[in-house]
Chain A
Amino acid sequence: MKKQYIILLIVAGIFAFFTTCSDTGKYKALIITGQAEHDWQTSSAILKKLLDQTGLFNTRILSTPEKGGEMSAFNPAFSKYRLVVLDYNGEPWPENVKTAFVDYVNKGGGVVVYNESGNAFPDWKEYNQMIGLGGGEGRDQSAGPYVYFRRNEMIIDTTARLSAPAVPSQEFEIRNKITDHPVTAGLPARWLHGSDMLSGPMRGPAISLDILATAWSDPRAQGSGREEPALMVIAYGKGKIFHTTLGYPQDGGGPALECTGFITTFQRGAEWVVTGNVTQPVPLDFPSAAAASLRPGLVVPTPGEVMKNLGNYDIQKSTRYFTLLQNYIRQAGGDEKSLLNYEKMMVKVLKAPETTVEAKKLLLRELSWMGSDYCVSAIRDLAGNAELQGEAEFALARLEATK
């Protein structure tokens, strides 16, 4: 009898594995949307694209009935998924769905609470515990204290109602508070987020909550002077929750969702709630405190794309592709093969007739220190060009000094 039990358990385990992973070994993910003040059709499609881009997830979008519709038809099979992403702020779910969702999280299911979902379900106790802190008009003192940072100190504030200035959409600074969590490890301490709605004060039970990062609501830009919670992680039962307040969609997506900072933290948060680890490296186009970094069309930059665009650089244009090239070179960490590979690509662009003078100047500067013998003859050819003489001589002086 015991043996049969064991076999049964193994079979059940294998079954469970295959129902939560697709046949390609990816985790099954479910985005729940259908009601929100924002354009949820746009946001949910982008979230699906971002999850699938990681190569870790096989994602399905499930929409609830429209507002006022028959909610009883909505009954997702949560247990089939390893990840549930909430892009929902609407009518209460049926009791059986709420119970199933709580059960899913209790048993170890992963949840990402995206943007406006943090305003949802003010009266659902378990949900409020899962999201840690919530926003919106529906939450009063009974929801719990406000939690925010001021001058780098976490403040737990029991004020009845904090002012929530209507901050116009803008770029704002994200400040990491916990830097050794898998989601935020390796990220800059501060980075500029693409133009977004800055969430107002958030309150809630704040149980088993870690605020990983805050959003600086700058009074010089009509903000509150508080650092509002931006990225949070919450433990509930055996489940993990990642809560991001970022990424309010504009027409077709916009800078809040195209921000590499939003994308990276969303993708990493999704992985973490499923596995407890993050395998995704910090991308080379991650923003810093100096400048936001966007991915128009959600396109992930590649060395090939960088090289293709580098030759078009003009004095009035962004140096983005050049700084990405520098990041690739830094990341190579002195690996001769990788550096030679980049050098060959750079020389190709340097020699191309369509490459602008300004692009050549930037390439010559970089080759001056990281180049090898390979680039020298191409640089000599440019030394006679009056427009490039300065940079060509600069590069040759350096390259030849260390021969």
Chain B
Amino acid sequence: MLRKTSRRAFVKRSATAVAGAFVLPQIVPSSVFGMGGKLAPSDRIIIGAIGTGSQGMSNMRDFLRLGDQLQFVAVCDVDALRLSKARETVDGANKNNDCRTYMDYREFLEKEKLDAVSIALPDHWHGIIYTETINKKVAVYGEKPISRTIADGQTIVKACRKNNTIWQTGSWQRSLPNFHRGAELAINGRVGKISHIEVGLPDGGRGIGTPPVKDVPPELDWDMWLGPALEVPYRGVAHWDWRWILDYSGGQLTDWAGHHIDIANWGAGLENTGPVEISGTGVYPVDGIFNAPVEYDFICKYANGIEMRVANSSRLIHGMGTTWYGELGWVHTNRGNQLTASDPGILEEVIGENEIKLYKSENHWQNFIDCIRTGRETISPIEGAYRAISVALLGEIAMTTGETIKWDPEKEVIIGNPRASRLLSRPYRKPWTLPTV
């Protein structure tokens, strides 16, 4: 216990020391913290995982690739089968049988003394579990989108600020060179002054109709899976496909906002603000249990005159990815190491000494671990994550209401529309409440 206590105190102390000062020289010799070399067990980051589905396990594998810099000690999931598989993975990595398992995150947070938690849950759970974990003053690697509603997001941001904890969003595109380079070209005016941005996210797919109500399988705690969401009968849809149901997510739009909208904001200097006006339309399935929009097309106007269009990729010339446009041309970036420009010469441009150098990370999970040790802010901090999903959630509100939404990005309120304002938050099903910060 002494080991953990002492390092946790260190993490907290170093975070306090650099708070608000991350513009200082940031290269810390790895020898100081033993990074890159063989670590003594006492220097390992002790980490646990809440949510061990496909993304949770994918993150766990990425962390395990970092070797003995960290050690998983506990996992939590509402599905006993998944929990068991996660435990096997952890025990396999640790070469022991010591991984502790929980089906209730409250017990997990109460009993485990951790440096960090990796969290990958359906969006409707983010508000509660992110906030409660941050309130434990533990570093969090949290999946995007950071919240299902604006209000949940605001609470999570507040919790991070108040507790002064390390937060890394699963917006890992920031740690890939093509996205970094594209954003750096854009923010340094290589397309000229940015006039508009196009963000292409995936089209929604085919639905499954209305499946019959089924018995909940014995391994699944369905009531806990639903958590703060309204009670509905189980239809065999939980893992993965929650993404297409508005109670739990906003479809491809909110899933991918934390990637290409996040990159768009990063390259346009919009990551700490929001739009002032949002309008657009969505195409919703006319039938079936999947009710998230399968197409969406909305425009966000920013106070500085930039317009951002967010649409399903079939509607855009460049398809998927982010395109910044200015009077000198455009730069487009997308997965698959794509980086193209209206003029290939733009891509050859050198960013000068006195220009903006965006934060550089070569491994998103390593960056999180490094920042726990150094107290430095991560490459994908909470504020940017909140502003990225806000764009999608405000777009969702514009599409739901069919109205042009006026947003105050400073006060973070919808102006002059009480009806639309109701969609900024969701009442929680009893006994769940959004934790206070």
Q: Are the CB atoms of B207 and A290 closer together than 8 Å? A: yes
CB distance from B210 to the nearest CB of A (A): 6
Given the contacts A316-B213, A323-B284, A394-B427, A290 and B290 also touching, CB distance less than 8 Å: yes
Q: Are the CB atoms of B314 and A399 closer together than 8 Å? A: no
> Which of B99-107, B267-275, B378-386, B399-407 lies at the interface with chain A?
B399-407
**Contact partners of A320 in chain B: CB under 8 A:** 286-287
Cβ-based interface call for B417 (8 A): yes
Interface centre among B210, B231, B400, B422 (most CB of A within 10 A): B422
Could you tell me the distance between the alpha carbons of A323 and B210 in the complex, rounded to whole angstroms? 13
Given the contacts A288-B204, A317-B210, A188 and B283 also touching, CB distance less than 8 Å: yes
Interface centre among B212, B283, B425 (most CB of A within 10 A): B283
Q: Are the CB atoms of B287 and A318 closer together than 8 Å? A: yes
Cβ-based interface call for A356 (8 A): no
The B-contacting residues of A in range 283-328, CB under 8 angstroms, are 285-291, 293, 315-320, 323-324, 326-327
Cβ-based interface call for B113 (8 A): no
Cβ-based interface call for B278 (8 A): no
In the complex formed, the residue of B with least CB distance to A173 is: B206
Binary contact readout A179-198 vs B (1 if CB under 8 angstroms, 0 otherwise) = 10000000011101000000
Could you tell me the distance between the alpha carbons of A399 and B425 in the complex, rounded to whole angstroms? 12
Given the contacts A329-B402, A391-B230, A287 and B286 also touching, CB distance less than 8 Å: yes
> Which of A87-95, A125-133, A268-276, A363-371 lies at the interface with chain B?
A363-371
Binary contact readout B135-171 vs A (1 if CB under 8 angstroms, 0 otherwise) = 0000000000000000000000000000000000000
> Which of A27-35, A102-110, A330-338 lies at the interface with chain B?
A330-338
Q: Are the CB atoms of B203 and A289 closer together than 8 Å? A: yes
Q: Are the CB atoms of A323 and B287 closer together than 8 Å? A: yes
The B-contacting residues of A in range 187-244, CB under 8 angstroms, are 188-190, 192
Given the contacts A323-B287, A333-B403, A369 and B210 also touching, CB distance less than 8 Å: no
Cβ-based interface call for B291 (8 A): yes
**Contact partners of A60 in chain B: CB under 8 A:** none
Given the contacts A317-B210, A398-B422, A393 and B286 also touching, CB distance less than 8 Å: no
Cβ-based interface call for B233 (8 A): yes
Q: Are the CB atoms of B286 and A330 closer together than 8 Å? A: no
Q: Are the CB atoms of B284 and A189 closer together than 8 Å? A: no
Given the contacts A189-B203, A189-B312, A290-B205, A331 and B402 also touching, CB distance less than 8 Å: yes
Cβ-based interface call for A82 (8 A): no
Interface centre among B212, B399, B418 (most CB of A within 10 A): B418
CB distance from B316 to the nearest CB of A (A): 10
Q: Are the CB atoms of B288 and A315 closer together than 8 Å? A: no
One of A289, A324, A326 near B206 (C-beta < 8 A) = A289
**Contact partners of A189 in chain B: CB under 8 A:** 203, 295, 312, 314-315
Q: Are the CB atoms of A291 and B288 closer together than 8 Å? A: yes
Q: Are the CB atoms of B206 and A330 closer together than 8 Å? A: no
In the complex formed, the residue of B with least CB distance to A398 is: B422
Given the contacts A285-B286, A291-B288, A315 and B233 also touching, CB distance less than 8 Å: yes
Q: Are the CB atoms of B290 and A190 closer together than 8 Å? A: no
Given the contacts A316-B213, A334-B401, A290 and B315 also touching, CB distance less than 8 Å: no
CB distance from B21 to the nearest CB of A (A): 39
Cβ-based interface call for B227 (8 A): no
Q: Are the CB atoms of A290 and B233 closer together than 8 Å? A: no
Q: Are the CB atoms of A330 and B402 closer together than 8 Å? A: yes
Cβ-based interface call for A397 (8 A): yes
Cβ-based interface call for A4 (8 A): no
One of A293, A332, A393 near B287 (C-beta < 8 A) = A293
Could you tell me the distance between the alpha carbons of A94 and B212 in the complex, rounded to whole angstroms? 58
The A-contacting residues of B in range 282-309, CB under 8 angstroms, are 282-291, 294-295
**Contact partners of B207 in chain A: CB under 8 A:** 290-291
Cβ-based interface call for A175 (8 A): yes
Q: Are the CB atoms of A319 and B231 closer together than 8 Å? A: no
Cβ-based interface call for B429 (8 A): yes
Could you tell me the distance between the alpha carbons of A289 and B288 in the complex, rounded to whole angstroms? 12
**Contact partners of A331 in chain B: CB under 8 A:** 402
Cβ-based interface call for A341 (8 A): no
Q: Are the CB atoms of A291 and B418 closer together than 8 Å? A: no
**Contact partners of A173 in chain B: CB under 8 A:** 206
**Contact partners of A365 in chain B: CB under 8 A:** 230
**Contact partners of A368 in chain B: CB under 8 A:** 422, 427
One of B213, B285, B314 near A175 (C-beta < 8 A) = B314
Cβ-based interface call for A390 (8 A): yes
Q: Are the CB atoms of B294 and A316 closer together than 8 Å? A: no
Cβ-based interface call for B36 (8 A): no
Q: Are the CB atoms of A179 and B315 closer together than 8 Å? A: yes
The B-contacting residues of A in range 117-161, CB under 8 angstroms, are none
Cβ-based interface call for B236 (8 A): no
CB distance from B349 to the nearest CB of A (A): 30
Q: Are the CB atoms of B295 and A291 closer together than 8 Å? A: no
Q: Are the CB atoms of B400 and A316 closer together than 8 Å? A: no
Could you tell me the distance between the alpha carbons of A176 and B420 in the complex, rounded to whole angstroms? 32
**Contact partners of B92 in chain A: CB under 8 A:** none
In the complex formed, the residue of A with least CB distance to B247 is: A365
Could you tell me the distance between the alpha carbons of A330 and B207 in the complex, rounded to whole angstroms? 21
Interface centre among B287, B400, B417, B426 (most CB of A within 10 A): B287
Cβ-based interface call for B423 (8 A): yes
Binary contact readout B409-431 vs A (1 if CB under 8 angstroms, 0 otherwise) = 00000000111111101110110
The B-contacting residues of A in range 326-382, CB under 8 angstroms, are 326-327, 329-334, 339, 365, 368-370
In the complex formed, the residue of B with least CB distance to A397 is: B427
Interface centre among A289, A331, A334, A399 (most CB of B within 10 A): A289
One of A179, A293, A333, A394 near B286 (C-beta < 8 A) = A293
**Contact partners of A327 in chain B: CB under 8 A:** 284, 286
**Contact partners of B312 in chain A: CB under 8 A:** 189
One of B286, B290, B421, B430 near A324 (C-beta < 8 A) = B286
In the complex formed, the residue of A with least CB distance to B314 is: A189
**Contact partners of A163 in chain B: CB under 8 A:** none
Could you tell me the distance between the alpha carbons of A334 and B312 in the complex, rounded to whole angstroms? 24
In the complex formed, the residue of B with least CB distance to A391 is: B230
Cβ-based interface call for B209 (8 A): yes
**Contact partners of A285 in chain B: CB under 8 A:** 286
CB distance from A326 to the nearest CB of B (A): 7
Cβ-based interface call for A6 (8 A): no
In the complex formed, the residue of A with least CB distance to B251 is: A290
- Given contact pairs A189-B315, A192-B206, enumerate 19 new A-B contacts (beta carbons under 8 Å): A179-B315, A189-B312, A190-B314, A288-B283, A288-B286, A290-B205, A290-B207, A290-B290, A291-B288, A318-B287, A323-B285, A323-B291, A326-B284, A327-B286, A330-B399, A333-B402, A390-B430, A398-B422, A401-B422
* A contact set with B: CB distance below 8 Å: 173, 175-176, 179, 188-190, 192, 285-291, 293, 315-320, 323-324, 326-327, 329-334, 339, 365, 368-370, 390-391, 393-394, 397-399, 401-402
13 residue pairs A–B, Cβ–Cβ below 8 Å = A188-B294, A288-B204, A288-B294, A291-B287, A316-B212, A320-B286, A326-B284, A327-B286, A333-B403, A370-B401, A401-B422, A401-B425, A402-B421
* B contact set with A: CB distance below 8 Å: 203-207, 209-210, 212-213, 230-231, 233, 244, 282-291, 294-295, 312, 314-315, 399-403, 417-423, 425-427, 429-430
